[in-house]
Structure 1
Amino acid sequence: MWRDDMKRRLHELRHLFFMFNKGNITLRSKLLAYLLFMSLTAFGILILVLATSGAIFNFEHQVRQVLEIKANQTAASVQDVMDIMTGYGDNMARNLSHQIEYQLEEHGLKTVEGLDNQPEILLDIQKDFFAELNTTLKVTRSSGTYATLNATINTEAPHAEKYRSGVYLRLANVGHHVQLDPDIFYFRGIPDIAREKGLELHNRWNLEFDIDAFPEFTECFQAKQKSGFWTDSRRIQDSWEKAMFYHAPLYGSQGEFYGVCGVELSDLYMKLSYPVVETEFGPAMTVMAPLEKGQLEIGKGLVGGSIASWNDRHLSLVENNNSELAYYQDGVDSYLGIEKPVSIAGKDEQNWKVVVLIPHRIYMERVSEHRARLILSVFLFILCMGTMSLIISRKFVHPIVKGLEFIQTQKDYSTFSTGISELDVLIRFLESQPHAEQLSDRGLPEDIEELLVRFSDGIKTLSAAEYHVFHFYLEGHSVSQIPELAFISMSTVKKHNRNIYTKLGISSNDELLLLIDLFRRCGRIEELHRQE
């Protein structure tokens, strides 16, 4: 793209130069064009120096803007997901608590422990569970829903004390979009319901929950936890997946603990919902995890799509007051990122963050590529402007030198044109006069008279040192003779020459000598003398 743009600009410059050479151009116009290209060349050199030193083109600020937008969008989305799942989890807990209490009253049972060894009643309750869990799974964007009772089908079974009856549904096709008719796996529960509903049993299906894999169940039972809360991420039992769980306790109207229900947010859901996003500075990855004592505990949170394999590693936040970005290291790689807070139920004491990260190595590679392209573009710009300045300089000086030779030789050049309007008018005028005749004031064309007056007025603006150098030109001396005559260095002469050219509105020594000769031919050389 940038190469095409450069070709287009070169084409425009060639067209501009063609138009510049077409027809007669005034001295002033060519001088302005020359100064313009020289100024652009100087500006390009300045930009090149600043770009090479890194003083301009602040890529860190640009990547911060990119990550800031991405982080704000992702944090808002994650917060929305967590709030929706939390709200539906609490609503599901209220509905299931009412249904359990109704079933207990319907069967004349005073406590939930009375459901032990009651498979028929447990089946009825699980059917109620399924209806609520299935609805919640369809309207939320969770990867699973579950509900478990503080009761078991068979208290005589081995290790019966750690098993609890309940239903666990998991999505077969996890995604962040709401699915009206998703494919569902039956992960836990009495299989009669799966057969009745036409559901496929999960390949890791079990009849009941192992509460050793749900330690929060025991914590809710013992501590009488009344409000819902999110867990840290952990491995789902009998699965290779990790997930965070929102546990909502189930309580009766009299405060009796019935069990726990909730929603599952798996790492697969996170990866599909928040994939790696390619930016001009590298792949942006999303992490949701607590920031504890300067450590981003990835093992306790969830990771979106990633080009790294973090597993249970943590990222250390490195203090860098000179950077607009957060800087993280994990002992293997380093990352640049932007972090945003996220509120998670039950995690008030932890500082949970949504962080968007870019690998530092890839970021530096991309920045180097950007800077190289910019420096190359500026270099080509300088080359083009310098070339145009050189060409215009030659086109500008050469006609003046030829015009001076025409006047000095006094030959017939009736068909000759320098391409500079002022010189062409002067030559035509000189050719119209007898060679032996001195030019009169009244015979001068208006353009030439204006040029002489402007030159004469400029003489008055010269400093004493500048006029001292100028006077040597009046006497017919060359530039190389002036240092010895004026007892100054050549560099000083050149400096005075530049000031003289600027104040007299000319651009070269040839043009200066041409105008002095013109004053002499017009008998007005005294106008160039002044008392010092």
Structure 2
Amino acid sequence: MNRIRQTIELMHATCKEVSMRRKLVAYWASMIFVLLAAMLILASLFGVFSIRESNLRHALDAHHASTVASVKKQTSVLAAHAIALSQESSNALDHQLLTHPTSKLNDDPEGIARAERALFSVLRTALETSPCSGAFVIIDATVNTQIDNAENSRAGVYIRFANLSVSEVVGQDIVLFRGTPQIARENSLELHNRWRLEFDSSLMPGYETMLRGSTGRVSESCRWTSRSQLPGTWEGVAMVVAPVCSSNGTVRGVCGLELNDLLFSLSYPAQDSEYGSVMTAVAPVSNDVVDLPKGMTGELKSTYLSDAEKLYVREDSGFNVYEASNGTFVGLHTPLGLQTTDGEDVCAITLVPREYYSAMAFADRMKIIVASSLLFVVALMLSRYLSRRFVRPISDAVDALKADGSIGDGLTGFSEIDALVSVLDSKAASIKPSLLPPDVASLLDEFSARFATLTATERKIVKLYADNLETSEVAERLFISIHTARKHNANIYRKLNVGSREELVLYLELFRRCKKLDALFGEGGASQNPEA
């Protein structure tokens, strides 16, 4: 049985031989893969795949530098105008009160009205000459100290633009938001639809900080407030505030300039780029968190960015990633160095929706993949063509050998193969062709002779074993009992001189590989001892 097994394994190994054409195609294909891999590695080393990222980084750098410069200029100008407003307001109140404290104006409506009228001209000039949306002065006094919440009710004047436009400042409509209505009548102004006579100082950001913590030096005490909702309105505003002091340094009140959401949005419109809309924001940044609700945002054109939620920052290659609950952005932020009432670090921020950049990067990768695939297909076709050109003379020579046993002189075009054929031709006479090795042929002949002694039923059983059926399946197929099938097995083993079903199957496998299995069960192998 070991001899049969070894013979079958030898024939199986021979069947694994691969044609020269397939070997050549595999060789060329492997070379193509190596070439493509080398190209991809070189492209990666030289930054071919990061071109889009590099272009985005340069675009962000350029836009962000411009944004930072613009925001710094605007905040510096507003701070300078707030300091000038403080000085002019201080002079106006000094003229009204001389050296008296502002408490002298408590419960004096006429005195407060005169002071507010004097302050109005100062405020109007500041409003019309500053890049702001409103201007105010709060006096540390009230017309009635007996009313509820009198400790927070403070006199003063607050005027605002009614219809904002970045292109035109002079000539825009002004409304009175806080102050005596006499100012509106005398200057042909409308009252704001949320007008009140006095301020609620508890709702004015920075008021207590300026009033109680000021050193009297206006330039050192000027501060920016975080964005907050303007009392009684839906508008969000940020303010630059400064103390109003007397000639002897006593703080008499607070003045400031307002920058509302609309003006900031008009000042910083979203700019279209190949990476989507580029947006601007100014907000506190602390511990990698952008507090947008306390900052100002420019125009949010066609984006899902909301100024009511925070952004969480993480660094990426060359820029930052800002994650929100409803989307992700890429960009940069830079501290502005502003002095704020709450001490937070305010930054100028440039943002681009990440989805546009990701889509473009994906498109670039797909282009590379498609180009590489096309290159591979073309190279594979070329390798197939070259392989055929190489193998064709050899295959023609083989066909010639099959036809008449000779290929002539130099037919293949390969000297080594022609030399090999010449050697084979010289020894052809001494080689006796045989379909099978003698030992294998005698083995099959002996088995065929013994197979001829089987009855028809036994041959059927052997045929079913050749079809890989088990003994139980053979009994079921022939409608006999398992006992009868085993009895037939014993007779078969004895007649064929095999020791087990495994050895029988090995013989059948050998016949199959030699393509003699059909002949074994055919007419040539018909029993000469049919079953009675």
Q: Common fold, TM-score beyond 0.5? A: yes
Match of residue 338 from structure 1: 332
What is the CA-CA distance between 1:162 and the residue it aligns to? 1.4
Q: Using the alignment, how far apart are the partners of 2:253 and 2:292 within structure 1?
A: 30
Question: Structure 2: where are the runs of 5+ without partners?
Answer: 1-34, 383-407, 422-532
* 2:277 corresponds to 1:283: yes
> 2:119 aligned to 129, 134, 139, which one?
129
The answer to whether the 8 A contact 2:304-2:326 is kept is no
The 8 Å contact of residues 210 and 242 in structure 2, kept in 1 or not, is answered as no
Select the residue among 134, 148, 161 that pairs with 1:158.
Answer: 148
Q: Is the 8 A contact 2:411 2:418 kept in 1?
A: no
Q: Deviations over 1:143-198 (max 9, x none)?
A: 11101101112223332221111111111222444512121121111111112111
1:316 alignment partner in structure 2? 312
What is the alpha-carbon distance in structure 1 between the residues aligned to residue 342 and residue 227 of structure 2?
Answer: 16
1:74 corresponds, among 67, 80, 90, to 67
User: Would you say the 8 A contact 1:267–1:303 is kept in 2?
Assistant: yes
* Residue among 241, 246, 264 paired with 1:247: 241
SS of equivalent residue, structure 2 residue 65: helix
Task: Render the CA deviation track for 1:206-237: whole Å, top value 9, x for unaligned.
Answer: 11111110252223332345311011111111
Q: Which moved more, 1:476-485 or 1:137-146?
A: 476-485
Identical-residue share of aligned pairs (%):
28
Deviation of 1:352 (Å)? 2.0
Q: 1:486 to 1:208 in 2, by over 3 A?
A: farther
Q: Where does residue 196 of structure 1 map in the other structure?
A: 186
C-alpha separation in 1, matches of 2:157 and 2:322:
41
Calculate the TM-score normalised by the size of structure 1.
0.60
- Which of 129, 132, 139 is matched with 1:139 structurally? 129
Read off the aligned partner of 1:313 and give its amino acid letter.
E
**Aligned partner (choices 481, 484, 498) of residue 417 of structure 2:** 484
Aligned residues: 357
Q: Aligned to 1:161, what secondary structure does the other structure show?
A: coil
Paired position in structure 2 for 1:293: 287
Q: Is the CA contact 2:205–2:225 (under 8 Å) kept in the aligned structure 1?
A: no
Match in the other structure for 1:327: 321
CA deviation profile, 1:380-436 (whole Å, cap 9, x unmatched): 9x79x99xx9xxxxxxxxxxxxxxxxxxxxxxxxxxxxxxxxxxxxxxxxxxxxxxx
Instruction: Identify the residue that residue 110 of structure 1 maps to in structure 2.
Output: 100
1:309 deviates by 4.4
Partner of 2:15: none
- The 1:368/1:48 distance shift into structure 2, 3 A limit, reads farther
| 3-state SS in 2 of match to 1:102 | helix
- What's the Cα RMSD here? 3.5
1:432 aligned partner: none
Contact kept? 1:281, 1:367, Cα under 8 Å: no
Alignment of 1:99 onto 2:92: yes
State how far apart, in whole Å, the 2-side matches of 1:283 and 1:221 are.
Answer: 42
1:181 lines up with 2:175 in the alignment: no
The answer (yes or no) to whether the contact 2:209–2:341 under 8 Å persists in 1 is no
Q: Distance in 2 between matches of 1:276 and 1:65?
A: 18
**Which range moves more in the overlay, 121-130 or 261-270?**
121-130
Q: What is the CA-CA distance between 1:485 and the residue it aligns to?
A: 3.1
User: Residue 175 of structure 1 contacts residue 273 of structure 1 at CA under 8 Å; is this kept in 2?
Assistant: no
In the alignment, is the contact (CA less than 8 A) between 1:86 and 1:345 conserved in 2? no
Deviates more, 1:218-227 or 1:143-152: 218-227
Q: Does the CA contact (< 8 Å) of 2:282 and 2:297 recur in 1?
A: yes
What's the secondary structure of 2:277's corresponding residue?
A: strand
Letter in 2 for 1:484: I
Distance 1:332 1:92, change over 3 A: same
**C-alpha contact 1:295 1:317 (8 A) present in aligned 2:** yes
Q: Cα offset for 1:332?
A: 3.6
Alignment of 1:308-387 (within 5 A): 308-320=304-316, 323-346=317-340, 349-372=343-366
Aligned to 2:79: 86
Deviation at 1:479, TM superposition (A): 5.1
Change (3 A) 1:215 1:49: closer
Q: Which secondary structure does the structure 2 equivalent of 1:212 belong to?
A: helix
Distance 1:302 1:263 in 2: 15
Question: Residues 265 and 377 (structure 1 numbering): CA distance in 2 closer, same or farther, change over 3 Å?
Answer: farther
Q: Report the TM-score when normalising by structure 2.
A: 0.60
Residue 371 of structure 1: how far off its partner (Å): 4.8
State the structure with bigger RCO (CA 8 A, min sep 6), 1 or 2.
1
What's the CA shift for 1:249?
Answer: 0.4
Structure 1: gaps (5+ residues): 1-41, 390-474, 489-532
Opposite residue 116 of structure 2, the aligned amino acid is Q
1:56 corresponds to: 49
Cα distance in structure 1, aligned partners of 2:205 and 2:68 = 29
> Aligned equivalents of 1:274 and 1:375: distance in 2?
40
Q: Which of the numbers 199, 203, 207 marks the counterpart of 1:213?
A: 203
Does the aligned pair in 2 maintain the 1:140–1:178 contact within 8 Å? Answer: no
CA distance in 2, matches of 1:77, 1:487: 85
- Alignment partners' CA distance in 1, 2:225 and 2:238: 6
Q: 1:151 to 1:379 in 2, by over 3 A?
A: same
Structure 1 partner of 2:252: 258
Counterpart in the other structure of 2:386:
none
Q: Distance in 2 between matches of 1:133 and 1:374?
A: 62
Q: Given the alignment of the two structures, is residue 273 of structure 1 paired with residue 267 of structure 2, yes or no? A: yes
1:47–1:378 contact (8 Å) kept in structure 2: no
What is the deviation of 1:245?
A: 1.0
The 1:113/1:319 distance shift into structure 2, 3 A limit, reads: same
Q: C-alpha separation between the residues in 1 aligned to 2:343 and 2:152? A: 30
